[in-house]
Amino acid sequence: MSMSRIGYHTAASAIISYQDAMDITANNIANVNTVGFKAGRPDFADLLYTERNVDNTVQTGHGVKVDKTSVMYEQSALRNTGRMLDFAAMDDGFFAVQTNQGDVRYTKDGAFYANNDGLLRDSNGGLVLDYDGNPVNVPFENDLINYTELKNLIGVYKFENPYGLDQDGLNYYVSNESSGEAVADEGVEKKQGYVELSSTNLANEMSHVIEYQRAFQLNSSVLRIHDQLEEKINNLRS
């Protein structure tokens, strides 16, 4: 890259990065009322440095990028719904769901439903799984749901590194090499009649909006000034 264009590309990279960060923040705010939603955080990283002067003692950076989105899995507040088909998996526990496509996904959203076929499903129609990875059959006693037995049947899973999980939309997460395989853990507490709320903190997110907006505007000004300087230099050369 031409040395005369480093400033331009540095500011441009910042504008793109802060737009990406704003998109993540907007998604957090949009999901403030989504049960079990875990907010994302943009992680910034600086780009390659080059040495510019004869003695190679002055290093110049080439901007910034959003390196990845970290999902914050800390326990969110619970809401008492009084609905016996609602469950909250405490701490870093996840429910397992078999989607309509046959894939297994993991979620913190425990607002479940008993379908006419006697199977327990999530809000997307996926099959809720037990500790052995099989669909949960809703237990009945005298034509009434046995909620105590149902609670014991619903599986809860943990990961060696939940921060490595991939987001998959529809409030689902996917395991990978970074997260490790899901492991059934009957020791994780399940609270019946509760759902875990979104972890979005509106006050924090609004402060991020202001921060990213100001940084975006400042880098836009840098970009404009750099263009003006380039134009003056070119005029002097001609």
How far is CA 127 from each of CA 61, 70, 122, rounded to the nearest angstrom?
50, 28, 7
Count the neighbouring beta carbons within 10 Å of the beta carbon of residue 20. 16
Predicted confidence pLDDT, tens digits, the chain (238 residues): 444 577 778 888 999 999 999 999 999 999 999 999 999 999 999 887 776 666 666 777 778 889 888 888 888 999 999 999 999 999 999 999 999 999 999 999 999 999 889 999 999 999 999 999 999 999 999 889 999 999 999 999 999 999 899 999 899 999 999 999 999 999 999 999 999 999 999 999 999 999 999 999 998 888 888 777 777 777 776 6
Among the listed residues 6, 11, 75, 10, the one whose alpha carbon sits nearest the alpha carbon of residue 216: 11
Query: pLDDT digits over 202-211, tens only?
Result: 999 999 999 9
Measured CA to CA, the distance from residue 5 to residue 156 in angstroms comes to: 54
pLDDT (0 to 100) of residue 4:
53
pLDDT (0 to 100) of residue 56:
64
Query: pLDDT digits over 37-70, tens only?
Result: 999 999 999 887 776 666 666 777 778 889 888 8
Among the listed residues 107, 139, 136, 147, the one whose alpha carbon sits nearest the alpha carbon of residue 124: 107
* Parallel/antiparallel/unpaired status of strands 59-61 and 49-51: antiparallel
pLDDT (0 to 100) of residue 32:
96
CB contact at 8 A, 38 and 73:
yes
User: Distance from first CA to last CA of the chain, Å, rounded?
Assistant: 23
Angle at which helices 6-30 and 202-237 cross, to 10°: 160
Alpha helices in the chain (DSSP H): 6-30, 147-153, 202-237
Domain ranges of the chain: 3-73+200-237, 78-196
Measured CA to CA, the distance from residue 199 to residue 79 in angstroms comes to: 12
The model carries a pTM of: 0.84
